[in-house]
Amino acid sequence: MLDGVAWDRIEVDGTDAVVLWTLHLLVFVTILFPLVALNMGGVLITTGLSVWCLMKRDYGESDDGGANLRPALNVIYGLVLFQGVVFCYLYATRYVQKGLLNMVVDQYRKIHVRQ
Protein backbone atom coordinates (compact mmCIF):
# COMPACT_ATOMS: atom_id res chain seq x y z
CA MET A 1 0.00 0.00 0.00
CA LEU A 2 1.19 3.42 -0.93
CA ASP A 3 -0.64 6.47 0.41
CA GLY A 4 -3.55 4.30 1.46
CA VAL A 5 -4.17 2.92 -2.06
CA ALA A 6 -3.91 -0.79 -2.80
CA TRP A 7 -2.33 -0.64 -6.27
CA ASP A 8 -2.90 -4.32 -6.99
CA ARG A 9 -6.68 -3.89 -6.60
CA ILE A 10 -7.12 -0.99 -9.03
CA GLU A 11 -9.38 -1.87 -11.93
CA VAL A 12 -8.96 -0.23 -15.30
CA ASP A 13 -11.94 -0.01 -17.61
CA GLY A 14 -11.80 0.27 -21.42
CA THR A 15 -11.59 4.06 -21.59
CA ASP A 16 -8.78 4.24 -19.06
CA ALA A 17 -6.87 1.52 -20.89
CA VAL A 18 -7.11 3.46 -24.17
CA VAL A 19 -5.94 6.65 -22.49
CA LEU A 20 -3.06 4.79 -20.82
CA TRP A 21 -2.09 3.11 -24.10
CA THR A 22 -2.20 6.46 -25.91
CA LEU A 23 -0.01 8.03 -23.24
CA HIS A 24 2.54 5.21 -23.55
CA LEU A 25 2.53 5.55 -27.33
CA LEU A 26 3.04 9.30 -27.06
CA VAL A 27 5.98 8.81 -24.69
CA PHE A 28 7.51 6.24 -27.03
CA VAL A 29 7.16 8.38 -30.14
CA THR A 30 8.33 11.65 -28.59
CA ILE A 31 11.13 10.40 -26.35
CA LEU A 32 12.34 6.89 -27.14
CA PHE A 33 12.13 6.84 -30.94
CA PRO A 34 14.30 9.96 -31.42
CA LEU A 35 16.84 8.56 -28.96
CA VAL A 36 17.10 5.32 -30.92
CA ALA A 37 17.38 7.23 -34.20
CA LEU A 38 20.05 9.49 -32.73
CA ASN A 39 21.94 6.48 -31.38
CA MET A 40 21.88 4.68 -34.74
CA GLY A 41 22.56 7.80 -36.79
CA GLY A 42 25.20 9.10 -34.41
CA VAL A 43 27.58 6.25 -35.14
CA LEU A 44 27.15 6.72 -38.88
CA ILE A 45 27.57 10.50 -38.66
CA THR A 46 30.74 10.30 -36.55
CA THR A 47 32.16 7.64 -38.86
CA GLY A 48 31.51 9.86 -41.87
CA LEU A 49 33.05 12.87 -40.16
CA SER A 50 36.15 10.91 -39.20
CA VAL A 51 36.57 9.68 -42.79
CA TRP A 52 36.20 13.25 -44.03
CA CYS A 53 38.76 14.58 -41.51
CA LEU A 54 41.22 11.79 -42.29
CA MET A 55 40.95 12.57 -46.00
CA LYS A 56 41.15 16.35 -45.55
CA ARG A 57 43.91 16.37 -42.88
CA ASP A 58 43.61 20.11 -42.31
CA TYR A 59 43.65 20.30 -38.53
CA GLY A 60 44.64 23.94 -38.26
CA GLU A 61 47.58 25.52 -36.51
CA SER A 62 48.36 25.61 -32.80
CA ASP A 63 50.56 27.93 -30.74
CA ASP A 64 53.26 25.34 -30.02
CA GLY A 65 53.60 24.22 -33.63
CA GLY A 66 51.25 21.25 -33.23
CA ALA A 67 53.94 18.60 -33.20
CA ASN A 68 51.66 16.08 -31.51
CA LEU A 69 48.36 17.40 -32.83
CA ARG A 70 48.37 15.67 -36.22
CA PRO A 71 49.33 12.17 -34.93
CA ALA A 72 46.90 12.40 -32.02
CA LEU A 73 43.99 13.41 -34.24
CA ASN A 74 44.90 10.69 -36.74
CA VAL A 75 44.69 8.11 -33.94
CA ILE A 76 41.38 9.45 -32.64
CA TYR A 77 39.78 9.64 -36.08
CA GLY A 78 41.15 6.18 -36.89
CA LEU A 79 39.59 4.74 -33.72
CA VAL A 80 36.25 6.35 -34.52
CA LEU A 81 36.43 4.97 -38.06
CA PHE A 82 37.23 1.50 -36.73
CA GLN A 83 34.29 1.71 -34.30
CA GLY A 84 31.96 2.67 -37.13
CA VAL A 85 33.16 -0.18 -39.33
CA VAL A 86 32.68 -2.70 -36.52
CA PHE A 87 29.23 -1.29 -35.75
CA CYS A 88 28.15 -1.52 -39.39
CA TYR A 89 29.55 -5.05 -39.65
CA LEU A 90 27.68 -6.22 -36.54
CA TYR A 91 24.50 -4.46 -37.65
CA ALA A 92 24.67 -6.06 -41.10
CA THR A 93 25.44 -9.55 -39.80
CA ARG A 94 22.50 -9.40 -37.43
CA TYR A 95 20.16 -9.42 -40.42
CA VAL A 96 21.93 -12.08 -42.49
CA GLN A 97 22.54 -14.35 -39.52
CA LYS A 98 19.29 -16.32 -39.76
CA GLY A 99 19.58 -16.82 -43.51
CA LEU A 100 23.17 -17.95 -43.14
CA LEU A 101 22.16 -20.37 -40.41
CA ASN A 102 19.44 -21.85 -42.64
CA MET A 103 21.93 -22.29 -45.49
CA VAL A 104 24.40 -24.11 -43.21
CA VAL A 105 21.65 -26.38 -41.85
CA ASP A 106 20.50 -27.22 -45.39
CA GLN A 107 24.04 -28.08 -46.47
CA TYR A 108 24.55 -30.16 -43.34
CA ARG A 109 21.36 -32.11 -44.04
CA LYS A 110 22.37 -32.73 -47.65
CA ILE A 111 25.74 -34.10 -46.59
CA HIS A 112 24.38 -36.37 -43.88
CA VAL A 113 21.44 -37.65 -45.94
CA ARG A 114 23.88 -38.93 -48.60
CA GLN A 115 25.90 -40.94 -46.07
Tell me the pLDDT tens digit for each residue of 17-50. Answer: 788 888 888 988 888 888 888 887 888 888 998 9
The per-residue pLDDT for 60 is: 72
Query: What 8-state DSSP symbol labels residue 65?
Result: -
pTM attached to this predicted model: 0.56
The per-residue pLDDT for 113 is: 74
CB of 22 within 8 A of CB of 66? no
What are the tens digits of pLDDT across the range 54-111? 888 777 776 766 677 888 888 999 999 999 999 889 888 887 887 888 888 888 888 8
Task: Label each residue of 8-61 as H, E or C.
Answer: HHCCCCHHHHHHHHHHHHHHHHHHHHHHHHHHHHHHHHHHHHHHHHHHHCCCCC
Q: Taking 50 as the threshold, does the pLDDT of residue 1 lie above it?
A: no
The answer for residues whose C-beta is within 8 angstroms of residue 66's C-beta and 6 or more apart is: 59, 60
